[in-house]
Amino acid sequence: MQVYIVKNAGFCAGVKRALNMAEKTADEPGTWHSLGPLVHNAAVIDYLKDRGINPVDDLKLLKDKNSGIIIRSHGVGSDIIKTAGGMGIKIIDATCPLVSKVHKTVQFLLQEDYEIFIFGDINHPEVIGILGWCDNKATVINEISQTNNLDKYRKIALVSQTTKDEEKFYEIARALCTKAEEVRIFNTICSATRKRVEQTLEICRQVDMMLVIGDKQSSNTATLTKECLGTGVKTIQIENAEEIEMQWFAGVSKAGITAGASTPDWIIKEVLDRMTAYDEKENQELNQATEEQEVQQNQESEPANDLQSEVVEDQGVQNQEESFATMEAEMADIASPGKGDVIKGTVVQVNDDEVMVDVGGKSEGLIPLREISSQEVNSAREIVQVGDEIEVLVLKWDDDGNILLSKKKVDTKRAMDKLEDVFNEGRTVLGKVTGSVKGGLLVDIGITSFLPASHIGDGYVKNLEEYIGREMEFNIIEFNRNKRRGSQVVISRKELAEEEKRQKREEFWNSIETGQIRLGKVKRIIDYGAFLDLGGYEGLLHISELDYRRIPHPSDVLTEGEEIEVYILGVDREKDRVSLSRKKLMKSPWEVVMDKYSEGEIIKGKVVRTATFGAFIEVEPGVDGLVHISQLADYRVDKPENVVEVGQEVNVKILSIDNEQKRISLSIKEAQVDVEAQEVEEYLQKQDDMTEETGGEAVEPEVVEINETEEVAEISEPDDKETEEVAEISEANDNETEEVAEMTEPVDSEESTSPEESTPSE
């Protein structure tokens, strides 16, 4: 069951003020009495009696010289005050300032010779008091019919008992307008009464049942009960919580509470406690309390009705009303903050788990950690500091008289107000992604809102986590304060992302040109290439444009997410196509060859194919050189396959590089000669080194086959120097051979030479 409390239920500011004055007076010396019951509530009267304040109806009953009287908020006639003064009785005047103003008004009207009319109950103490301020020279009207037989007057003025019905007041005012040449209307009806009735009717429209709390003697409580019953809602009037019967609430999902001006807060609280024991959904009451406050604020800002406007034209009345408003504001200041009120306070102490706030009254306000912020915080120190001025919502009063406050609810309400404007005006809002949940992200935009996964961007989002911590702009696509489940605010980036994409695309097409080098991010790899994000455009880099080499699969050279440079081969906006190349930015294999190799160099290569005229050797990936059949071996070769086979790795000598024809000719035969010459040279160098190490003495020679010496002699194309060297080598070898011959079997030179190796030695 949800329970709605009428914001202005209970004591009005005037009654509160009178009660406060009475409580203070009780501590003063003397015997104190109230002139008539201070309020129409037996419980309050009993409480005051306990404090030594007894009501009396007649001054004559006060015998004690030390007696004093407290004049209640209704006020009394000036004659009573004069009489009491004459009797030496101390007077505490707790007349409500709004009632005092009526007294002064009628006094003035009497002096100005107006025929005074008072709209009110002739027996009500307030009316009796008002009459006392105009020498009882006023006519009291309570019904419109009483205006029918009135004579014509020159000047008429109308005031009202402060607690009367405003609609009826204006009816009577209209009737009086026909009864005199000059009519002045003073709307002296107190807004507290009007607001209480209005708010009670507002609540009646939302609930299944109303409880009206107030004394059976209280006329304004009786009025409230009558108004509630008039709406057709089930209404029960009670004096206190003990009268409540739980069966009243069977089948009631929403109940309302209102109370007359003489009902103290503690009785309302007891009734509420009894009802919340029936159903503990207190948070819903708080929400309602806040909403009621909004209703009140809205009502306050509404323009006055037509008749009021007419009356305001009277300058005297206008001033009067302004004065009343000022007084009302003053009285609001002295009132204690009530449940659902939003008030300002100063932080006086901050602990990890709570904050103490000075809210200007006798009691301290406490904000527990959970009511500090809508964000999760570990300590209240993260949010407020001593000396901060903050706005807080009054949640409730605890048993020690402390006020339980919430900063979170005020902040949330303020944030919701702003977001509602943003939503209605179609503006965007800045937010920070704070976490992920099933189906989307949580974003802090003043309150925690929900961003569905399908609204994060203009496409599918694989990894929600990567967005956490990012700040972005959002559109509000759903705003519902009354939503009880799920987020009240749902946001989206979809349209914004689409617009950003459109703008980027436009910028891309305005700037792209053939021949440019652009940076692209690899978005997707497919079998025949990869899609690159070029900033506003997603283009295909075909596998054939990846490299000069043959690439089995694009993933062999690219990874998703990496950024690479690409060359713009061509642009066709009409067909929405941009041709890209990666290999255009690489050196061609021929360029590599030109940089890396030179003629005469011996390199390793792989036989890739053979032909009748020779064999092709891969020098670099993409560049094959030709070994002509005549260059395959140092003997006559019939078929290349007799000397080399595909896949074999061979040494080749670069005979020539033809840059124009992009041809390279190679020789295995010459490479062999050079390699062998190199080996001999290395051998001799080794010999020299050994001689130096032994100081020129003869060293044990290595065994060298005599036919090798012959081969060296055969392949050497000697210049003069080389001839000499070869001769020396031959001589040395002959010597060695002789030495070796002594140790080994003689070698038959005929046998060491094969028929194919028929090149004659010199």
* Minimum distance from residue 10 beta carbon to ligand SF4 (Å): 11
Distance CA 4, CA 207 (A): 8
Range in contact with ligand SF4 (rule: CB under 6 A) among 186-194, 243-251, 448-456, 674-682: 186-194
Which is closer to ligand SF4, CB of 130 or CB of 176? 130
12 vs 530, which CB is nearer to ligand SF4? Answer: 12
Element spanning 604, H or E: strand 602-611
Alpha carbons 461 and 162: distance in angstroms, whole number? 66
Minimum CB distance to ligand SF4 smaller for 124 or for 414: 124
Token duo for residue 607:
């036989």
Q: Which pair of structure tokens corresponds to residue 479?
A: 């705003």
**Residue (116 or 261) nearer to ligand SF4, CB:** 261
Q: Which of these ranges, 11-19, 46-54, 394-402, 536-544, lies near ligand SF4 under the rule CB under 6 A?
A: 11-19
Kindly state the greatest CA–CA separation across the chain.
172
| Contact track, ligand SF4, 47-76, x by CB under 6 A | --------------------------x---
CA distance 167 to 360: 38
Compute the least distance from the CB of residue 132 to ligand SF4, in Å: 17
| 528 CB-near residues (< 8 Å, 6+ apart) | 542, 543, 554
Which residue of 192, 268, 441, 626 would you call a contact of ligand SF4, by CB under 6 A?
192
- Verify binding: residue 190, ligand SF4, rule CB under 6 A: yes
Over the window 78 to 97, marking each residue x when it contacts ligand SF4 by CB under 6 A and - when it does not, the resulting string is ------------------x-
Q: Which of 6, 15, 38, 257 binds ligand SF4 (CB under 6 A)?
A: 15
Please, what is the minimum distance in Å from the beta carbon of residue 318 to ligand SF4?
A: 19
- Closer residue to ligand SF4, CB minimum distance, 80 or 99: 99
Name the packing angle between helices 282-301 and 407-425 (round to 10°): 60
Answer yes or no: are the C-beta atoms of 154 and 182 closer than 8 Å. Answer: yes
| Interacting positions 423-442 with ligand SF4 (CB under 6 A) | none
Considering the complex, state which of residue 162 and residue 200 has its C-beta at the smaller distance from ligand SF4: 162
Contacts of 708 (CB under 8 A, 6+ apart): none
Tokens 């569905």 -> residue: 452
Q: How far apart are CA 10 and CA 49, in angstroms?
A: 21
Task: Check binding of 286 to ligand SF4 (CB under 6 A).
Answer: no
Among 8, 41, 163, 449, binds ligand SF4 (CB under 6 A): 163
Residues annotated as part of the active site: 126
Of 14, 77, 340, 440, the one binding ligand SF4 by CB under 6 A = 14
Among 8, 67, 147, 193, binds ligand SF4 (CB under 6 A): 193
* Contact by Cβ (8 Å): 257, 5: yes
DSSP 49-74: HHTTEEEES-GGG---TTEEEEE-TT
Identity of residue 563: E
Q: In 3D, which of 61, 6, 5, 12 has the Cα closest to residue 33?
A: 61
CB 159 to ligand SF4: min, Å: 12
Q: How far is the CB of 39 from ligand SF4 (least distance, A)?
A: 10
Q: Is 98 in the site for ligand SF4 (CB under 6 A)?
A: yes
The residues with which 170 forms a beta bridge, in sequence order, are none
Of the candidate residues 5, 45, 99, 415, the single one contacting ligand SF4 (CB under 6 A): 99
Nearer to ligand SF4, 13 or 357 (CB): 13
Candidate ranges 13-21, 428-436, 549-557, 698-706; the one touching ligand SF4 (CB under 6 A)? 13-21
Q: Give me the residue label for tokens 């002509």.
A: 628
Q: Helix, strand, or coil here: 212? A: strand
Q: Which of residues 526-555 bind ligand SF4 (CB under 6 A)?
A: none
Residues 595-654 within binding reach of ligand SF4 (CB under 6 A): none
237: left (phi over 0), alpha (psi -120 to 50) or beta: beta
Q: With binding defined as CB under 6 A, does residue 9 bind ligand SF4?
A: no
Q: Judged by CB under 6 A, does residue 443 bind ligand SF4?
A: no
- Give ∠ CA 195-397-1 in degrees, rounded to 5: 65
- Rounded to whole angstroms, what are the CA distances from 44 to 16, 56, 238, 266? 11, 15, 15, 10
Size of the site for ligand SF4 (CB under 6 A): 14
Residue 326: CB minimum distance to ligand SF4, A: 14
- Reduced to 3 states (helix: H, G, I; strand: E, B; else coil), residue 270 is helix
Question: What binding mask, one character per residue, do residues 111-150 give for ligand SF4 by CB under 6 A, x or -?
Answer: ----------------------------------------
Query: By three-state DSSP, how is residue 199 classified?
Result: helix
Residue numbers 238-267 binding ligand SF4 by CB under 6 A: 261
Round to whole Å and give the CA distance between 9 and 184. 32
Residue 683: helix, strand or coil by DSSP?
Answer: helix
Contact between 647 and 573 (Cβ < 8 Å): no
The nearer residue to ligand SF4, 96 or 419, going by C-beta atoms, is 96
Distance CA 140, CA 160 (A): 9
- Minimum distance from residue 96 beta carbon to ligand SF4 (Å): 3
Which CB sits closer to ligand SF4, 15 or 180? 15
Task: Count H helices and E strands in the chain, helices first.
Answer: 18, 32
Please identify the residue of the shown chain whose CB is closest to the bound ligand SF4: 14
Q: Considering beta carbons, is residue 90 or 124 the nearer one to ligand SF4?
A: 124
- Site residues (vs ligand SF4, CB under 6 A): 12-15, 73, 96, 98-99, 162-163, 190, 192-193, 261
